[in-house]
Amino acid sequence: MQTTIDLATGSLAGEVTTSERRIADLAGFFADEAARAALPQDTIVYRVQMHDKEAEGTPGGLLFGTSFVYPGKVGDEYFMTKGHFHAKRDTAEYYFCISGRGALILMDEEGNCWAEKMERGTLHYIPRSVAHRLANTGEEVLAVGCCWGADCGHDYASIARTGFAKRLREVDGEPKLG
Amino acid sequence: MQTTIDLATGSLAGEVTTSERRIADLAGFFADEAARAALPQDTIVYRVQMHDKEAEGTPGGLLFGTSFVYPGKVGDEYFMTKGHFHAKRDTAEYYFCISGRGALILMDEEGNCWAEKMERGTLHYIPRSVAHRLANTGEEVLAVGCCWGADCGHDYASIARTGFAKRLREVDGEPKLG
């Protein structure tokens, strides 16, 4: 069966697997833990669809998926993904924004942290050894197409331990990284 | 400057380089060389836009581009790209069709040759060690987004020498691989 991507919404159909993260899964990731704990715990924060993982772990292979980050905030901090380094640090990734508005938050291994604005059509190269996280700053679902090496792996532990050096918050109605 | 991709047409803007192949550049690639020689030699057959090549050659890096194949035929054979294996054979590639209609023609190292139909939204995984070529079977430009490893390299010589095992021709008004 031919796998397809809806270029209006980012949705994949065909040979696809889906995973999701809810508020209950994200203890410790947001600055305001009390605000997180007070939200309905089954609220979906983000969802990832992946083209079938046949290639996973294969050197030279590639994987493709769409990340969907839902609109919302925990306190003044935008809904976001956990974020990760690649386990194999020297591996890059491509993102392109399909719908919604948001930010790609990046951090190198020295803790330098910056963000790139995302809206439909922005194309983003995530260099090697740079951690990455998506945040939704808009009112609609942020959908982002992603392509990465099948043997990159994911190191979530470093981020769970130290976090990103900056957070994306709504300040006076605008996203601010600080 | 933020690089962008127009998700209606595939056009990249920003830090982009472009290359093109004209009828004059494709001697020997089509079955009917006399028909090729008789066409206006400056007719563009295809064009490739690439996001800046900073990562080119870097292990673990990725490259992203859009291939545009124009509508047309040489005799009964559809306009197509030269096609290539990756020089580093064990490397994959992702394609997704953004506009137009066409085919992704694939051939493994044993010469087995097959094709996948392309139309807006089809997603294609090109496995390792598989040569690939695009052909436009429609009336509009075929635009295809591509992501591949920065150290894949391109082996055009094998295809220039042996060709693909099958050709995509119009037979009774329909594309036929044979």
Interchain pair B14, A123: CB under 8 A: yes
Residue in chain B nearest A8 by alpha carbon? B7
* Contact between residue A67 and residue A46 where contact means Cβ atoms under 8 Å apart: yes
pLDDT > 80? residue B54 = no
Residue of B nearest to A62 (CA): B92
Residue B53: which pLDDT band, with cuts at 50, 70 and 90? Answer: confident
Contact indicator for A113, A107 with CB cutoff of 8 Å: yes
Mean pLDDT estimate for chain A: 96
**Nearest CB to A123; choose among B60, B64, B121:** B64
List CB contacts (< 8 A) between A148 and chain B: 62
pTM of the model: 0.97
Alpha-carbon gap, residue B72 to B34, rounded angstroms: 16
The DSSP-derived string for A33-73 is: HHHHHHS-TT-EEEEEEEE-GGGTT-TT-EEEEEEEE-S-E
* CB-CB contact of B13 with B66 (8 Å): no
- Beta carbons of A85 and A159 less than 8 angstroms apart: yes
By three-state DSSP, how is residue A157 classified? helix
Q: Which residue of B has its CA nearest to A89?
A: B60
**pLDDT tens string A52-100:** 877 888 889 999 999 999 999 999 999 999 999 999 998 999 999 999 9
Out of B91, B125, B149, name the one closest to residue A51 (CB): B125
pLDDT at A52: 86
Mean pLDDT of B74-79: 98
Confidence of residue B18 (pLDDT cuts 50, 70, 90): very high
Is residue A55 within 8 Å of A149, Cβ to Cβ? no
Residue B77 has pLDDT above 90, yes or no: yes
**What does the pLDDT read at residue A55?**
84
Could you tell me which chain A residue has the CA closest to the CA of B146?
A147
Digitized pLDDT (tens) for each residue of chain A, 178 residues in all: 799 999 999 999 999 999 999 999 999 999 999 999 999 999 999 999 999 877 888 889 999 999 999 999 999 999 999 999 999 998 999 999 999 999 999 999 999 999 999 999 999 999 999 999 999 999 999 999 999 999 999 999 999 888 999 999 999 999 999 9
Angle at A80 between CA A78 and CA A83, to 5 degrees: 145
> If you ran DSSP here, which 8-state letter would residue A79 be given?
P
Binary contact (B149, A149; C-beta < 8 A):
yes
Query: Are the C-beta atoms of A111 and A21 separated by less than 8 Å?
Result: no
* Predicted local distance difference test score (pLDDT) of residue A56: 85
Residue A90 with chain B: CB contacts under 8 Å: 59-60
**Chain B within 8 Å of A2 (Cβ-Cβ)?**
yes
Q: Which residues of B touch A5 (CB under 8 A)?
A: 96, 121, 123
Q: Which of B3, B58, B92 sits opposite A123 (nearest CB)?
A: B3
The nearest CA of chain B is from the CA of A5 a distance in Å of: 5
Q: List, as ranges, residues 83-142 from A with C-beta within 8 Å of B.
A: 88, 90-94, 96, 98, 116-117, 120-123, 125, 127-128
Which residue is it, tokens 């472009």?
Answer: B18
Output helix, strand, coil percentages for chain A, rounded to the nearest 5: 10, 50, 40
Q: With an 8 Å Cβ cutoff, are B62 and A148 in contact?
A: yes
Residue in B closest to A6 by C-alpha: B121
Q: What's the gap in Å between the CA of B160 and the closest CA on chain A?
A: 24
Chains A, B: CB contacts under 8 A, how many?
107
